[in-house]
């Protein structure tokens, strides 16, 4: 409690939160690429893939207890490759964060502040997030824990009340399933489990590392449940034909929430307020781990000041990048590449490490 590390369950909440944010961003992909309401199969396939790849990765991480993935890769790979891996993660985190921020700022602009310039919304979010990032991992872990507590409870209410006038038969037809579509969208679903990448960095910060494996398993489990629940909620509410058109399915669901006798008329604004807190914690988390990645790639002692470098980069990237929904036609390949790399890099590292060990033993 008094040290600077995070507890296993705080780690869990970090992983679930980050995954949740990316899952809701990537949800339209899942809805539109598959013919029929069987996207949950994709999610489960993705979860199973991740579940089995956790074992070697956890073994590797547990071996080098104090090190995050990048310093492990420094040890087992030649310098050039480990640098490249570091830079890959930095760029990936930056892109992911700016997409998250952009998408989110646009939701706020459309739903709440129609005439406020996007730039100022982004900068407000960014500055607030960087304030938290500067405070370090402990604060961020606390924030994500609190966020899970205070934001998911309203989400559960939203889920419950959104079923008003919903048609449960919308989950059919299950058979025959669109196998091709299901398989094609697996990379997108894998990318949705963004916590899988974060755990490479966050596991080393946990106090009791022996439990990491079970915690990571729990993360995959809870995240899958959450993802499937959200998916089914959207399907049940809109039916597959309508959900294909939605840009932000989750926000659209909130627009329809019908809480009997609820004081506020536009529930989506209230929902968005909680969404702000969730997304905001995700931005903090990713920004912090970008800092860590930068620190370990450039081998500096401190990580806090990297946030000052990140602010302008993130701001310009968020301002320049088009919104996620504009990119959907073009992101088929990038998603396959990104999710492939995210999955393969740690696996290869684990493999190389295992080989090394054998050679040494012989």
Partner 1 sequence: MKSIKILFITIITSIVLTGCWDSVEINKREYIFAVGIDKNAKNLTFTSEIPKINEGSEEQRLVYTKDCINFADFYATSYLHSEKVISDRLMQVIVLGEDLARDSEAVKRIFDEIQRSPQMNRRVKICIAKGKAQDIINTEIPHNPIVGRFLSEMLIKLKRESYQDIYTFDEAILDLGKTGNAMIPVVEINDKSLKVERAGVFKEYELIGFLEPEEVSSIMVLLNPSKATIRNVNITVEDTNVSLGAVDITMTKKMDLSNDKLKVDYYVTLYSYIDSFIIGSNKLEDQSYLNKIKEEATKNILMVSKKTLDKLQNSYRADLLKIKEDLYKYHKQDYEKIADKYDEIFEAADINIHLDMVIKSTGLVK
Partner 2 sequence: MGIYQNLTNINVDIDLKKNETILKEVFKDANDIIFRNMKVGQHKKLNILIFYVDGMTTKDSISEYAIQTLMESINLESLKKDSGKELQNEILNSNIAITELGTVQTLQECVDKALSGETILFIETCSKAVWLSSRGWQIRGIQEPAAETLIRGARDGFIETMKVNITLIRRRIRDPKLKVKYMQVGRRSKTDITLLYIEDIVNKTVLDEVEKRINNIDIEAVLESSYIEELIEDDTYSPFPQIENTERPDAAASALLEGRVVIAVDNTPTVLMAPATFISFMQSSEDYYERWMLSCLIRMIRYIALPIVMLLPALYVAVVQFHPNMLPTQLALYVAASRANVPFPPYFEALLMELVMELVREASIRITTPVGSTIGLVSGLVIGSASVEAGLITPIAVIIVALTGLASFAIPSYNFSTSLRMIRFGFIVIASFFGLFGISIGLCILIIHLCTLKSFGVPYLTPMTHFVERRSDLKDTVIRPKIYNLVRKPAYLQVEKEKGK
**For partner 2, which residue of 52, 175, 263, 333 counts as binding (CB under 8 A)?**
263
Does 165 help bind partner 2 (rule: CB under 8 A)? no
Q: Give 165-169 contacts, CB < 8 A, sequence gap 24+.
A: 165/258, 166/236, 166/237, 167/236, 167/239, 168/236
Are the CB atoms for 237 and 221 separated by under 8 Å?
A: no
Which of partner 2, partner 1, none is residue 143 near (CB under 5 to 8 Å by kind)? partner 2
Are the CB atoms for 271 and 254 separated by under 8 Å?
A: yes
Give how far the C-alpha of residue 343 lies from the chain's centroid of Cα atoms, to the nearest Å. Answer: 14
Which of partner 2, partner 1, none is residue 135 near (CB under 5 to 8 Å by kind)? partner 2
**For partner 2, which residue of 159, 171, 251, 276 counts as binding (CB under 8 A)?**
276
**For partner 2, which residue of 48, 91, 146, 156 counts as binding (CB under 8 A)?**
146
Does 273 help bind partner 2 (rule: CB under 8 A)? yes
Total residues contacting partner 2 by CB under 8 A comes to 38
> Closest approach of Cβ 175 to partner 1, in Å?
7
Query: Rounded to 5 degrees, what angle do the CA atoms 91, 96, 98 make?
Result: 95
Distances (CA, A) of 136 to 132, 205, 285, 351: 7, 11, 10, 32
> Closest approach of Cβ 136 to partner 2, in Å?
8
C-beta of 145 vs 243, nearer to partner 2: 145
Which of partner 2, partner 1, none is residue 46 near (CB under 5 to 8 Å by kind)? none
Which of partner 1, partner 2, none is residue 132 near (CB under 5 to 8 Å by kind)? partner 2
Residues in the chain: 362
> Closest approach of Cβ 308 to partner 2, in Å?
17
C-beta of 273 vs 351, nearer to partner 2: 273
Using the contact rule CB under 8 A, the part of the chain among 69-77, 251-259, 265-273, 312-320 near partner 2 is 265-273
Give how far the C-alpha of residue 269 lies from the chain's centroid of Cα atoms, to the nearest Å. Answer: 23
Q: Which residues contact 153 (CB under 8 A, 6 or more apart)?
A: none
Strand, helix or coil for residue 199: helix
> Closest approach of Cβ 22 to partner 2, in Å?
19
How many C-beta atoms lie closer than 10 Å to residue 163's C-beta?
A: 14
Positions in the binding site for partner 1 (CB under 8 A): 36, 110-117, 120, 123-124, 127, 165, 169-170, 172-173, 175-176, 238-239, 241-242, 255-256, 258, 265-266, 308
Which of partner 2, partner 1, none is residue 263 near (CB under 5 to 8 Å by kind)? partner 2
Which x/- pattern, by CB under 8 A, does the window 101-120 give for partner 2? -------x---xx--x----
Locate 20 and state its tokens. 């949740």
Does 153 help bind partner 2 (rule: CB under 8 A)? no
Query: Rounded to 5 degrees, what angle do the CA atoms 96, 126, 274 make?
Result: 85
Write b or e for each residue in 283-303: b if 16 or more Cβ atoms lie within 10 A of its Cβ, otherwise e: bbbbbbbbbbbbbbbeeeeeb
C-beta of 9 vs 315, nearer to partner 2: 9
Are the CB atoms for 226 and 233 separated by under 8 Å?
A: no
> Closest approach of Cβ 128 to partner 1, in Å?
9
**Minimal CA–CA distance to 285: which of 147, 188, 171?**
147
Interface residues with partner 2 (CB under 8 A) are 1-2, 7-10, 12, 108, 112-113, 116, 121, 124-125, 128, 131-132, 135, 139, 141-143, 145-149, 263-266, 269-270, 272-273, 276-277, 280
């Amino acid at each position: 409690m008094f040290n600077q590390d995070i507890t296993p369950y705080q780690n869990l909440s970090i992983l679930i939160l980050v995954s949740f944010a990316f899952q809701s961003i990537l949800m339209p992909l899942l809805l539109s690429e598959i013919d029929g309401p069987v996207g949950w199969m994709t999610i489960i396939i993705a979860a199973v893939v991740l579940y089995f790849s956790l074992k070697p990765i956890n073994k590797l991480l547990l071996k080098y207890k104090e090190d995050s993935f990048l310093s492990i890769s420094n040890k087992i790979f030649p310098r050039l490759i480990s640098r490249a891996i570091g830079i890959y993660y930095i760029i990936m985190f930056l892109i992911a964060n700016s997409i998250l921020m952009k998408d989110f700022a646009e939701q706020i602009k459309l739903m709440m502040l129609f005439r406020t310039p996007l730039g100022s919304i982004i900068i407000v979010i960014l500055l607030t997030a960087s304030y938290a990032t500067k405070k370090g991992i402990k604060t961020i872990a606390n924030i994500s824990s609190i966020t899970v507590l205070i934001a998911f409870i309203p989400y559960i209410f939203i889920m419950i009340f959104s079923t008003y006038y919903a048609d449960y038969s919308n989950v059919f037809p299950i058979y025959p399933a669109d196998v091709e579509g299901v398989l094609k969208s697996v990379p997108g679903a894998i990318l949705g489990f963004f916590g899988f990448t974060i755990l490479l960095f966050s596991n080393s910060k946990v106090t009791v590392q022996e439990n990491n494996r079970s915690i990571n398993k729990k993360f995959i489990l809870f995240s899958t449940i959450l993802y499937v629940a959200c998916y089914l909620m959207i399907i049940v509410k809109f039916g597959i034909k309508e959900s294909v058109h939605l840009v932000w399915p989750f926000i659209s669901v909130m627009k329809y929430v019908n809480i009997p006798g609820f004081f506020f008329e536009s529930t989506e604004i209230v929902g968005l307020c909680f969404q702000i807190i969730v997304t905001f914690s995700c931005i903090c988390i990713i920004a912090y781990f970008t800092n860590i990645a930068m620190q370990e790639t450039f081998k500096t002692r401190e990580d806090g000041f990297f946030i000052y470098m990140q602010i302008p980069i993130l701001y310009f990237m968020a301002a320049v990048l088009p919104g996620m929904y504009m990119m959907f036609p073009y992101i088929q390949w990038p998603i396959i590449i990104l999710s492939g790399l995210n999955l393969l890099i740690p696996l290869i590292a684990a493999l190389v490490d295992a080989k090394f060990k054998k050679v040494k033993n012989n």
